[in-house]
C-alpha cells in the first residue's frame, strides 16, 4: 500500500510526533481538570451560545447530518463495512487497522466514566436526540479523528493523485473539522469536550499509524538464511 519513508525522514517525523503527543497529553490533562469542576466554565458557556446564535432549521439539519455517522449502529456499520471492503480486496493489514480505530471509542468510554461530566443543560439543546451518558470527552470527535484520519492517511499515502483521491481526502478532512462545532451547536457537548475528543483521537491515530508502519517494515524485511 503506502510508500515508506527513508530512515532520516522517519526519525525526524518520530521526533515531531513525540513533541506533538507530549503537548497533546498536557493539554488533555488540563482540559480534564476543567471538566472535573462542578459547574461549566464561562468560556465553554460563551462559546456554546456564540455558536448557537444562528439558529435555523437548515443549520440544525446540516449539523445533525454531520454528526449522524458517529451514532451507533451506523458508526459500527461504516467501520466494519470499510474493513470488510479492504479484506475483500486483499488488504488484510489495512482491514485489521481499520477495525482497531474503534479502540479510540473504547478509550473515550473509560474517560467518560472516570470524569463523570454531565451533558450541557437542556436549555442549550438543539437536537431531539437525548444522550444519557457523560459528556467529557466527545466520542464523536475521538472516533472521527481516529477513523477518518486513518482513511485520510491511507488515501494520501497509497493512492495516485486523482479526482477520487481528492474527494476522499476532502470528505475525511471535512468530517474531522466539522464534527466539533456540530456537537457543540446541537448542545450535546461543551467546547472543552470536543477539543479533548480530538486530542484523544489524534493521539490514538498517531500510535495506530506508527504501529501500522512498524508492522509493514517488519513484513517487508528480507529473511536471513544461516
User: What residues does each domain of the chain span?
Assistant: 7-218
Among residues 46, 165, 150, the alpha carbon closest in space to that of 104 is found at 150
Count CB-CB contacts under 10 A for residue 186. 24
DSSP labels for 132-172?
-S--SS-HHHHHHHHHHHHHHHHHHHHSPSSHHHHHHHHHH
CB 135 within 8 A of CB 118: yes
Distance CA 84, CA 17 (A): 30
Grid cell of 83 as nine digits: 474493513
Under 8 Å CB-to-CB from 38, ≥6 apart: which residues?
Answer: none
**Half-sphere exposure (CA, 13 Å, Cβ side) for 17?**
15
Pick the CATH number of 7-218 from 2.30.30, 1.10.940, 3.30.479, 1.20.144: 1.20.144
CB 59 within 8 A of CB 127: no
pLDDT, residue 224, reads: 42
pLDDT, residue 93, reads: 93
Radius of gyration (C-alpha) of the chain in whole angstroms: 19
Under 8 Å CB-to-CB from 41, ≥6 apart: which residues?
Answer: 34, 192
pLDDT, residue 31, reads: 87
pLDDT, residue 220, reads: 60
Over the chain (226 residues), the average pLDDT of each successive run of 10 is: 56 70 81 87 89 84 93 95 95 95 94 92 79 91 97 92 95 97 93 94 91 77 43
Q: What share of the chain is helix, strand, coil (3-state, %, to 5)?
A: 75, 0, 25
Among residues 222, 225, 220, the alpha carbon closest in space to that of 3 is found at 220
Under 8 Å CB-to-CB from 131, ≥6 apart: which residues?
Answer: 119, 188
Distance CA 24, CA 1 (A): 29
Backbone φ and ψ of 36, nearest 5°:
-80, -10
Amino acid at each position: 500500500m503506502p510508500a515508506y519513508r527513508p530512515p532520516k525522514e522517519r526519525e525526524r517525523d518520530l521526533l515531531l510526533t513525540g513533541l506533538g503527543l507530549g503537548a497533546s497529553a498536557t493539554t488533555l490533562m488540563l482540559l480534564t481538570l476543567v471538566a472535573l469542576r462542578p459547574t461549566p466554565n464561562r468560556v465553554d458557556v460563551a462559546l456554546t451560545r456564540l455558536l448557537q446564535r444562528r439558529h435555523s432549521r437548515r443549520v440544525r439539519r446540516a449539523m445533525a447530518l454531520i454528526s449522524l455517522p458517529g451514532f451507533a449502529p451506523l458508526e459500527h456499520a461504516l467501520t466494519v463495512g470499510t474493513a470488510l471492503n479492504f479484506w475483500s480486496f486483499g488488504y488484510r493489514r489495512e482491514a485489521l487497522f481499520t477495525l482497531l480505530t474503534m479502540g479510540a471509542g473504547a478509550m473515550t468510554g473509560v474517560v467518560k466514566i472516570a470524569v463523570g461530566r454531565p451533558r450541557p443543560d437542556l436549555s442549550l439543546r438543539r437536537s431531539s436526540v437525548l444522550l444519557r451518558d457523560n459528556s467529557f470527552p466527545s466520542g464523536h470527535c475521538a472516533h472521527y479523528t481516529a477513523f477518518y484520519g486513518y482513511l485520510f492517511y491511507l488515501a494520501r499515502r497509497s493512492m495516485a493523485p486523482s479526482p477520487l483521491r481528492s474527494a476522499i481526502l476532502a470528505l475525511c478532512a471535512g468530517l474531522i473539522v466539522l464534527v466539533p462545532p456540530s456537537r457543540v451547536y446541537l448542545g450535546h457537548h461543551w467546547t472543552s469536550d470536543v477539543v479533548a475528543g480530538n486530542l484523544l483521537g489524534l493521539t490514538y491515530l498517531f500510535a495506530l499509524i506508527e504501529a501500522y508502519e512498524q508492522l509493514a517494515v517488519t513484513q517487508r524485511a528480507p529473511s536471513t538464511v544461516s
